[in-house]
Amino acid sequence: MKKILLSFLLIFTLTFTACEEYLDVQPGSGFTQAEVFKSEKDMQSAVAGVYTLMLAEDAYSNRVAFVFNTNTDVEMSGVGTNTVNGNGSDIACYDPKPYWTTLNSTWSAMYKIINMANDVLEGIESSDLYKADPKTQPSNVTQMYGEVKTIRAMVYLDMIRIWGDVVFRTKSSTGDENFAVGVTDRNTILEFLIDDLKSVEPLMKNASELDYGVERASRSFNQGLIGLLALTRGGWTLRPDENNPASIGHMERGKNYELYYDIAIQYLEKVILGRQHDLKLGFKEFWIKQNNWETPVNDDVMFSIPMLKNSSGEYGYFAGIPIAQGNHPYGSASGMLSLCGEYLFSFDNKDLRRDVTCAPYGYDLNLNQEMRLGLARLAVGKWSKLYMTSPLGGTSEKGTGVNYSWMRFADVLLMYAEAVNELFGPREDAKECLRRVRRRAFAQADWGTKVDNYVASKSSPELFFNAIMDERKWEFGGESKRKFDLARWNKYSEVVYNQYFKLFNWGRVANGAYVPGIDQVPGNVYYKLVTDPANSSRKILDIQGINQILTANPAGYTVHPFAMSWYSLNNDTASYEPINEIKWSFRGFINYNNSSSVSPTTPLRYLCPYPSKVITDHRGAIQNLYGFNF
């Protein structure tokens, strides 16, 4: 797949002539409805072209994977000012601006993928090969047809989760179309996509039957995506207030949500019973293989967007452990995607995922570890160039080629458990799904207490749902799923509200204040450099104060301020206040100035505005709501 993609990347760089806007006068791919694919090779080349467009920086190589993150109790970008930032970081604090150019670039990039997919689908439908296929069992032709429909549905889902209602087209755009088209209700789109994927699912192949495995959209990914689409349709979403377009809006659940949870159960169960995927590898071993461009077809990954070495992908660079440029073969890594420092302390001390996910350190130019832990300064450890057994070279930065694992089997297990619990309570099959995820998270010696007893204690629907919320938090840290989960659960406002006050109060307690319900917090952690037992020429950190809160400095260790530094004297106001990153990191929802008037049920504006250029191009047929125009 990667070789095919590389060739198509070069071809499209030279020949791709689509304009920036969706609904242009020429199809983005250059195909027309009259295009006929005369061989499977023609089809394969066209399908590879769809994947190629997904690798654009404005699509899945960067923007969709990282830039549209919002601050939650997992991922967090520290925002230290109440001043509008024009470069786009205001998305993190729920205060995005329509004029931010990257919004338009991503909107355009996503519609290029959709338009290309529509062109390819029409080309396949028009071909003699497709017409002659008996369609009684999966074939190469029906697989490619279903594959493109599955990718198109995935892209539409991501757009819905970013913007809400979007322009919906399932046919190629032509010069006869009118620019003045509006958006389609997201529920209508989701319902269409669910039915569309159902229609092609029986004639698709499993990843184990495909030449590029999980780097192609397989039958099991199709089934898992139907489940996610159904949970999204059956979940909550932000809706505008019809009588007050200047308001942020309200959270609303779609009608007949039980029907869609039932669909989710049906198709997620197909994935589980199909036994095409499992959690065979240990958690750390799984991520080491990901960093070494190894993706087994029968393990956790269900669909992995295939990036290209030295060309696309920023896992290991933007998302990963920071590395300074030096005389070493790994190249630098910014590690700009950060986790909230408090997230580190939410894990059970025996949870094997904690030290893989959370890296309170970076590497200097000599590859010695250095402390990196703060409010919004905790690196995502799942990706690291130091895991690479064949590093890309001392000058490599971006373009790591590490794949974007869009869906994992652990996701399916937890979605299934969630859906069953919603309709039937914590049934045994739901409990077993939760146990399967936790078994990989703990050593076998701890399964009795950390798996069996833990799951047994979640005996009511409410307790089990809260356990699912927690498990997804610990399982998917740094993978940009939390924002979408919180939205469909209608837990966004509550979680962010509680997180703001948790950070606020941790700073106060660390500095000696009494806060009911909070006894001790990690005011400081302590570290010293020791020789790396695996490499005597390097130093690593011995960190104390994470497994157990310490109130005194252990002999020989250096103090590293943590929650102690979150609340201090403001010389300008002569009063003790939280640091700016607490004041303003959630400012579009709750901040230092409005916290007394916000509640856990106040609507949180997590959607992005339509780009200004899109509004202009669509000649008034599209308008921003949720207070973005006011």
For the segment 178-230, what is each residue's pLDDT rounded down to a tens digit? 467 899 999 999 999 999 999 999 999 999 999 999 999 999 999 999 999 99
Burial class (CB in 10 A: 0-12, 13-18, 19+), 548: exposed
Specify whether the CB–CB gap between 138 and 147 falls below 8 A.
no
DSSP state of 574: T
Q: Does an H or E element contain 188, and which?
A: helix 186-200
Q: What is the mean pLDDT of residues 110-135?
A: 95
| Single-letter amino acid code for the residue at 390 | S
Give yes or no for residue 19 having a pLDDT over 50. Answer: no
pLDDT tens, residue by residue, 128-169? 999 999 999 999 999 999 999 999 999 999 999 999 999 999
State how far the Cα of 97 lies from the Cα of 103, in Å rounded to an integer: 9
Q: What is the mean pLDDT of residues 269-280?
A: 98
Tell me, what's the pLDDT at 239?
97
State how far the Cα of 400 lies from the Cα of 385, in Å rounded to an integer: 9
Tell me, what's the pLDDT at 516?
95
Q: Give the lowest-confidence range in 31-45, 228-242, 424-438, 584-598.
A: 31-45
Specify whether the CB–CB gap between 190 and 130 falls below 8 A.
no
For all residues of the chain together, what is the average pLDDT?
Answer: 92
Give yes or no for residue 14 having a pLDDT over 60. Answer: no
Give yes or no for residue 555 having a pLDDT over 60. Answer: yes
State how far the Cα of 579 lies from the Cα of 596, in Å rounded to an integer: 18
Tell me, what's the pLDDT at 21?
35
pLDDT tens, residue by residue, 228-259? 999 999 999 999 998 887 899 999 998 999 99
Q: Does an H or E element contain 116, and which?
A: helix 101-126
Evaluate whether the domain defined by 2-177+189-305 bears CATH number 1.10.275.10: no
Q: Between 14 and 575, where is the model more confident?
A: 575
Q: Which tokens in the block code for residue 99? A: 């004029």
Query: If pLDDT is split at 50, 70 and 90, which confidence band does 15 have?
Result: very low
Tell me, what's the pLDDT at 25?
28
Long-range contacts of 579-582 (CB under 8 A, 24+ apart): 579/80, 579/375, 579/507, 580/80, 580/81, 581/78, 581/79, 581/80, 581/375, 581/376, 582/375, 582/500, 582/503, 582/504, 582/507
Q: What is the mean pLDDT of residues 484-509?
A: 98
530 strand-pairing partners: 540
Q: Which tokens in the block code for residue 89? A: 């970081």
Tell me, what's the pLDDT at 67?
81
Q: What is the mean pLDDT of residues 438-455?
A: 98
Q: What is the mean pLDDT of residues 290-312?
A: 95
Residues 6+ away with beta carbon under 8 Å from 545: 522, 524, 525, 526, 562
State how far the Cα of 306 lies from the Cα of 54, in Å rounded to an integer: 9
Tell me, what's the pLDDT at 22?
26
Specify whether the CB–CB gap between 351 and 257 falls below 8 A.
no
Give yes or no for residue 28 having a pLDDT over 90. Answer: no
Give yes or no for residue 401 having a pLDDT over 50. Answer: yes
The neighbour count for residue 425, using CB atoms within 10 Å, is 14
Q: Between 402 and 67, where is the model more confident?
A: 402
Specify whether the CB–CB gap between 314 and 60 falls below 8 A.
no
Query: If pLDDT is split at 50, 70 and 90, which confidence band does 87 have?
Result: low
Burial class (CB in 10 A: 0-12, 13-18, 19+), 255: exposed
Give yes or no for residue 317 having a pLDDT over 90. Answer: yes
From its phi and psi, is residue 425 left (phi > 0), alpha (psi between -120 and 50) or beta? left
Give yes or no for residue 280 having a pLDDT over 50. Answer: yes
pLDDT tens, residue by residue, 322-367? 999 999 999 999 999 999 999 999 999 999 999 999 999 999 999 9
Kindly write down the DSSP assignment for every residue of 503-515, as one continuous string: HHHHHHHHTT--B
Give yes or no for residue 267 having a pLDDT over 70. Answer: yes
Give yes or no for residue 125 having a pLDDT over 60. Answer: yes
Query: If pLDDT is split at 50, 70 and 90, which confidence band does 541 have?
Result: very high
Q: Which tokens in the block code for residue 117? A: 């997919």
Tell me, what's the pLDDT at 18?
33
Give yes or no for residue 284 having a pLDDT over 80. Answer: yes
pLDDT tens, residue by residue, 417-429? 999 999 999 999 9
Burial class (CB in 10 A: 0-12, 13-18, 19+), 227: buried
Query: If pLDDT is split at 50, 70 and 90, which confidence band does 395 have?
Result: confident
Extents of the domains making up the chain: 2-177+189-305
